[in-house]
Structure 1
Amino acid sequence: MSRRAKRTRGTTPPTLTTDSPCPCGLPATYGECCGRFHRGEEPAPTAELLMRSRYSAFVAHDAAYLLRTWHSSTRPRHLELDPGMQWTTLEVVATTDGSAFHTTGTVTFRARYRHHGKRGELHECSNFEREKGAWVYVDGTFIE
């Protein structure tokens, strides 16, 4: 077997500690930022923070959090995350509504990734709603 065939790069999610930089791109540690949402200590207070925490959950391969923060009407029964997907950077492009004073909101973002070594980008406008008082992801539209 060649040296290249033995590589498993991108198959193991990064180890995030409370002191790691948060993958969502905000200038805080993972523990102070998205980690508190992932641990269930509190819900994300805005649609943008929910979107950022969901991105961080994709980075950490935390399918349970993703399902927990998905609207009941659009949530899949199961979610299998591709171990070859490595999310690298997040850029929030725009937000509409989604604050403590709203019941709906949108977040447009670009998420860059490597999939089995090939670079790519997901550009999406995501829709969020409050369900039982908490922000949840409803669906999204891909932007080309």
Structure 2
Amino acid sequence: MMSLMEKSCPCGTGLPTELCCGRYHHGEPAPTPEALMRSRYSAFVLGLTDYLLATWHISTRPVELLPDPHTQWKGLSIIKEAPDLQKTPSQADIGYIHFRAYFKERARWHRLEENSRFVFEQRRWWYIDGTPEVMRLKPRRNDPCFCGSSRKLKLCCKE
């Protein structure tokens, strides 16, 4: 059995979980909106709902967040991080990340695409909200796997 130190982080950096998102899951503040977004994706994969709630800004945080046993998160792609250069001083503590996450739910593939908004307060980044779009996918067996392995879907994340 692989330890978290040996296993690649679910966020897709290729680093071991403990050297990547695991350190944020254990209390170290994420230094950027992208790092927080990646750690939150990893928390969804690992079922760390307490971490998800703890990193959600109080102004938009739900009362509870129940894990979904039918959802298997399979891959993450960062599309764009909004540049800080165009921000005014009053906007300097706001960050935006556009990402795609792939998941399987009850044998059906989906893509979640979201523009997420983050704020820097109390010396840390917080997730505020996002504009998600979910699309059902109909991949073929020989298509590349969504997890980013470069393998065919039929040989990788078919389960």
TM-score normalised to the size of structure 2? Answer: 0.75
1:18 Cα deviation from its structure 2 partner: 2.3
Aligned match of 2:151: none
- Could you list the runs of 5+ residues in structure 2 that have no partner in the other structure? 135-159
1:16 Cα deviation from its structure 2 partner: 6.7
Q: Any residues of structure 2 matched to 1:11-90 within 5 Å, and which?
A: 17-40=4-27, 42-90=28-76
Q: 1:16 to 1:67 in 2, by over 3 A?
A: farther
Paired residues, what number?
128
1:97, 1:51 → 2: CA distance? Answer: 16
Q: Identity, % of aligned pairs?
A: 44
TM-score normalised to the size of structure 1? Answer: 0.83
Runs of 4+ in 1 over 2 A off after TM superposition: none
Is the contact made by 1:71 and 1:131 (CA closer than 8 Å) also made in structure 2?
Answer: no
1:59, 1:142 → 2: CA distance? Answer: 18
Q: 1:16 to 1:81 in 2, by over 3 A?
A: farther
Q: Which AA in structure 1 matches 2:82? A: T
1:39 Cα deviation from its structure 2 partner: 1.0
Identify which of structures 1 and 2 has the higher relative contact order when contacts are C-alpha pairs closer than 8 Å and 6+ apart: 1
1:109, 1:18 → 2: CA distance? Answer: 26
User: SS in structure 2 opposite 1:36?
Assistant: helix
User: SS in structure 1 opposite 2:13?
Assistant: coil
RMSD of Structure 2 on Structure 1 (CA): 2.0
Aligned match of 2:154: none
